[in-house]
Amino acid sequence: MSYRAFKFIVSGRVQDVNYRAFAKGIAHDAGVVGWIANDTTGQVVGEAQGSEGALDRFKKALHTGPKHARVKGVDLSNERILYGLEYDVFEVRRVRSD
């Protein structure tokens, strides 16, 4: 079975509004694995892997965010096909600084 994957950067008012927890909940419900973290520039970044349908649902949620978020943009990169998942769960990481 093949899967899809992408990296994402979400900009706007997305820190201190439970954005990461929101994304983790959507990922869990949709069957998406990967990770999400705040970065030092005020954005949220991460990587998602799963079936095409699961990732479509997750992408839509990234654009919406939780109630108090104000998403200005979602940039997707490194979209690719996988023949096995590289993660077991979707995890919230504290901060990405690279």
Give the active site residues.
20, 38
Phi, psi dihedral angles at 21 (to 5 degrees): -65, -40
Closest to 24 measured CA to CA, from 50, 52, 48: 48
Residues 15/38, Cβ–Cβ less than 8 Å: yes
User: For the chain, how far is it from start to end, CA to CA, in angstroms?
Assistant: 32
